[in-house]
Structure 1
Amino acid sequence: MFKIPLMEFDETKACSVKKNTELAKLLQQTELIVWDEVVMANKNMLTAVDITLRDIMDNDEFMGGKVFVCAGDFRQILPVIRNGGKEQELAHCIKSSYMWEGLAKMQLTENVRLKKDDVKNSKFAKQLLTIGSRESGEIYFGRGFGVRATSREELVYKVYDDFGANHLNLSYFEKRSIVSPTNDDVDSVNKMIYDLNQEKEVVYYSADTPLDQETDIQVSVFNSMTSPSVPLHDLRLKIGCIVMVMRNICPPMICNGTRVMVTNLKKHIVVGKILGGAYRGEQVLIPRIALESQDTPCPSGESSSR
């Protein structure tokens, strides 16, 4: 919504919202802003929004004078800093921002979603809090906890049982997922599930030239570069694949993080249906768009067009 720039974490920039635009007028009329999971946000993102709202509102008060509510839990993950450690994460979280001291802190003390007579869920909720505050000690899983798998292959077949008959079923994929702590494991499991799909494969290739034409990089080397901010050079898709959108294309329907099941593959457009949420089942068109990566191993100051 705020068009926060993809910034280097040691830089502070204003958002890409200009005065006299429809978005600027909407922000001027806004009375309340709620930022959920703010603990995970880099403090420079908040600073960018603060700078932008002060400019749009012609008001030098915090967030341009808007009522600004943050929500989050410090038991959860802090901002992810590439190649950074604990010190860098702490240095970029909201507690290290100039705005932290000016915020009024309020703490939730009661879980109203749990019924008083729901002893089982109440006990589980309290256990989660003790884990988050490191008061629980060692955690044990009983023999009856879940279904065990001895290999990745077995895990995939148990989670995605009867895949062939359901590979185009939205509800089937909404109820299934495999969580992994590392990207390497994610790639491995994704490949196994992808190979189960017997639909025809379509390959989309990215641009393979640097924006700086004077850069002397062989095409094969350039195509092998990977970045978490852009798709792979050869993006392989099949009908029935589940993909995740990486940019806010048409908020609030198609945003960064929206999951889509592919239903058709055209030359310049991927057609799909949204999984879950308020727009579940809505057909969407995802066009080929220009993306730039500033974190590929090119010489400093250069970026690759994908």
Structure 2
Amino acid sequence: MKISCVMTAFSEGALMRQSVASVLNQTHADLELVIVDDGANAETKAVLAELDDPRVKLVEQSNDGLSAARNRGLRHCSGDYVCFLDADDVRAPWAFAEAAQAIAEQGAELLLVRGVMAWPHGRLESFFDESSAEQAAAEAREAGGHLSLAAAKAWAASFEPQSANKFISRALIERASLSFPNDHFFEDILFHALVIAHARSVQLLNARSFTYFHRQLRPQLTGSSTEIRFDIIGTATVAFQLLAAHPEFENARFRGAVAIGALRLLSWCEDSISRRQQHAFRVLLRRALRKADPRFFVIAEETPDPRGERLKLQAYAQQYLTA
């Protein structure tokens, strides 16, 4: 089974070397690394010029943003399955081998894995995916060893909406015409929900597959309090609209898990945006939530809720729907 890994390059510079090495040094041999040069700066281009490996496919474009770069990378993949890795993060050396074995055993179109966050000075912290994976495994044991597809999708939706925690069948990507939304930040939220909704089979692998590095000296979305935060409203609105029209919307647990993930980020953005922008944010959010199907915001008790946020976030939404 061939695995394609899509990586985008812009301003990562020397950090990119360890990311590239973590893919090329996988114990699973059948792979390709598709790197999209998204108008990279000189330091990053110098790193790209060093690459001399037939498994690396370099695609160049003028700077068009992360989503456009990932979408271009997808079009150049030839693997049976596709994954993503940011150019300053790393894959565990066994990640592809574990994924390939799990897929060979169950044949899932979508495999979700766990990651770990590395903070400055070396502190490691698990994502909440770990709790989701453990609780899903417990539910599977109670059900006789396997989750139903509806249950697997619900638990998958409770995983962090990030690109690195998925191995996706290229057939699924092509069949559902999956892509990242251009001109929006928080693009992973929409992609995460749609790939799960369209998958015909889903598997959760309780294994750490990648390390996400939280950088202090490089701008990151989670470290910004600019107008970028407003984009979460538009991205969440599109997600609610598309999923309301999808048959998977009738899966109340999946619908609730999607709502919890979106409301968590909406609440976080509202709390962390500058005070002078909060009124405008709240006005736009009220309009957006009132346009969504109200069933998103009546979250079933059995919805996967690894952080225990269901009631708090349901109340958060209701204050905008009733005010």
TM-score above 0.5: no
TM-score for the superposition, normalised by structure 1 = 0.26
Ranked by relative contact order (alpha carbons within 8 Å, sequence separation 6 or more), the top structure is: 2
Q: Which has the larger radius of gyration?
A: 1
More helix by share: 2
TM-score for the superposition, normalised by structure 2 = 0.25
